[in-house]
Chains A and B, each alone.
Chain A
């Protein structure tokens, strides 16, 4: 090369290096700020859902304790009414309505905050939720539960429970499925939760941006809190199948 050319060549290489350094700097800052963004997001959804669960727990216990006991008191007062053949029909009807109302209050408060979850564990809470499903829906749900729950942190359980609740609600509301199968297994150091229905399915690509419902969003938010990986397999006519891989914290021994 001519000496002049060598100088130009060095200039070109320098320009190239500057370009390269800029791009590498871009790479590093993107990764750093993205990590911070994700951490903030996780903090935020954690705070939001905790607040929501606290509110729900409060409303549920208010419903159950205040409204529920008032209704029971009315029921007792009705029992104290003197027998009078003129009013017997009305009174019986009132009793039935009140029994109904007591049942509903119990169910609503259980839906809002499953006491069973705290007292007996995740599996019992899920079984109870299924048993409370209306009509012939109970029979559609198959449960296969193969885990021991000691390893699951208490605050993980409510999120797993909500995910199952939301997926089941969707399956019953949209899928027209004959069977809904829930399976919970251990896989390495993770929980593997799969929920499959054989219903109508939907188009993932359309749904990704549709902003229609809150259900799926709730599911992904909970999964983010659990740091779980979500795989959703579906297509029109092909049913819906979810897989959640939920990492467990290392056992403290």
Chain B
């Protein structure tokens, strides 16, 4: 299936970020470990998807499970960045698990391309990213261009914003042909590749030690 090759190359651009994460691991502040874990998990998931597509022909099961892991890790990452949002994050994590279970077990099965949870999680991640960006604007006194949190949140806005937009097509089961949907996901892969490059440069910007700032 040659149509997949370009997708595969684009999605495997996460490898760059994953490798930089391994190389720089000792120079990375603990508060960023959840994100590193996401990057490595994404790399494993891409490779697994590749293997499964060529053997059983579908990667829906692992993709459905992966999005939940990604979501929970991101919630934990936002908690590490700002402990004061713990309550909201907990609430959305639990709500996410409920919606995921409903979407993948009750209303649909793990073998289907389920969209409801993906739309929900994209929105939540975008909301928390906007919140983080605004708090950086207020408190941060060093340049934002090289601020890892800022770069990551902008990348989240781009990727999850576009993803929520595309998943809507999937959710309504619009009567389009298979090539149409394939092209849609290809465009998401292009965005994904771009975002992976931002991830890689953000990982290069992660400091070893967190500078002290006062929130007053």
Task: Give the CA-CA distance A35 to B145 in the complex, in Å.
Answer: 10
A239 smallest CB distance to B (angstroms): 15
Question: B151-171: contact bitstring with A at CB < 8 Å (1 yes, 0 no)?
Answer: 000100110011001100100
B55 interface residue (CB < 8 Å to A): no
Which single member of A5, A26, A38, A41 contacts B176 (CB below 8 Å)?
A5
**Other A-B pairs, 6, CB within 8 Å; known A231-B209, A231-B210:** A1-B177, A12-B166, A12-B187, A23-B158, A209-B216, A230-B211
Q: Are A5 and B180 in contact (CB under 8 A)?
A: yes
B56 interface residue (CB < 8 Å to A): no
Stretch at the interface among B93-101, B114-122, B136-144: B136-144
Which single member of A26, A31, A205, A220 contacts B145 (CB below 8 Å)?
A31
Task: Give the CA-CA distance A140 to B215 in the complex, in Å.
Answer: 31
Count chain B residues whose beta carbon lies closer than 8 angstroms to a beta carbon of A: 34
Q: Which chain B residues lie closer than 8 Å to A20 at the CB level?
A: 158, 162, 191
Task: Give the CA-CA distance A30 to B210 in the complex, in Å.
Answer: 22
Task: Give the CA-CA distance A2 to B179 in the complex, in Å.
Answer: 9
Task: Give the CA-CA distance A20 to B215 in the complex, in Å.
Answer: 32
Q: Are B209 and A9 in contact (CB under 8 A)?
A: no
A58 smallest CB distance to B (angstroms): 29
Query: Which B101-159 residues sit within 8 Å CB-CB of chain A?
Result: 133, 137, 140-145, 154, 157-158
Query: Which A34-60 residues sit within 8 Å CB-CB of chain B?
Result: 34-35, 37-38, 41
Which single member of A19, A27, A224 contacts B141 (CB below 8 Å)?
A224
Q: Which chain A residues lie closer than 8 Å to B1 at the CB level?
A: none
Q: Are A208 and B215 in contact (CB under 8 A)?
A: yes
B54 interface residue (CB < 8 Å to A): no
Q: Are A19 and B183 in contact (CB under 8 A)?
A: no
Task: Give the CA-CA distance A56 to B213 in the complex, in Å.
Answer: 27
Q: Which chain A residues lie closer than 8 Å to B184 at the CB level?
A: 9, 12
Q: Which chain A residues lie closer than 8 Å to B212 at the CB level?
A: 204, 220, 230-232
A73 interface residue (CB < 8 Å to B): no
Q: Which chain A residues lie closer than 8 Å to B154 at the CB level?
A: 23, 26-27
Q: Which residue of A lies closest to B188 (CB)?
A: A16
Which single member of B137, B141, B191 contacts A41 (CB below 8 Å)?
B141
Question: B164-200: contact bitstring with A at CB < 8 Å (1 yes, 0 no)?
Answer: 0110010000001101100110010001000000000
Which single member of B83, B142, B180, B210 contacts A1 (CB below 8 Å)?
B180
B36 smallest CB distance to A (angstroms): 21
How many A-B residue pairs lie within 8 Å, measured between CB atoms?
78
Task: Give the CA-CA distance A217 to B215 in the complex, in Å.
Answer: 10
- Could you write out 8 A-B pairs with CB less than 8 Å apart? A2-B177, A2-B180, A5-B176, A12-B166, A12-B184, A205-B83, A220-B212, A220-B214
Lowest 7 CB-CB distances: which A-B pairs, in order? A232-B212, A211-B216, A5-B180, A230-B212, A209-B215, A1-B179, A208-B215
Query: Which A212-243 residues sit within 8 Å CB-CB of chain B?
Result: 216-217, 220, 224, 229-232
Q: Which chain B residues lie closer than 8 Å to A30 at the CB level?
A: 133, 137, 144
A231 smallest CB distance to B (angstroms): 5
Interface centre among A15, A16, A20 (most CB of B within 10 A): A16
Task: Give the CA-CA distance A33 to B144 in the complex, in Å.
Answer: 11
Task: Give the CA-CA distance A76 to B85 in the complex, in Å.
Answer: 67
A13 interface residue (CB < 8 Å to B): yes
A88 interface residue (CB < 8 Å to B): no
Q: Are A15 and B165 in contact (CB under 8 A)?
A: yes
A8 interface residue (CB < 8 Å to B): yes
Task: Give the CA-CA distance A208 to B211 in the complex, in Å.
Answer: 12
Knowing A23-B161, A209-B216, A229-B211, the reply to whether A16 touches B187 (Cβ < 8 A) is yes
Task: Give the CA-CA distance A19 to B142 in the complex, in Å.
Answer: 28
A125 smallest CB distance to B (angstroms): 25
Q: Are A19 and B133 in contact (CB under 8 A)?
A: no
Task: Give the CA-CA distance A142 to B176 in the complex, in Å.
Answer: 76
Q: Which chain A residues lie closer than 8 Å to B177 at the CB level?
A: 1-2, 5
Task: Give the CA-CA distance A232 to B210 in the complex, in Å.
Answer: 9
B28 smallest CB distance to A (angstroms): 16
Task: Give the CA-CA distance A224 to B191 in the complex, in Å.
Answer: 38
Task: Give the CA-CA distance A78 to B176 in the complex, in Å.
Answer: 106
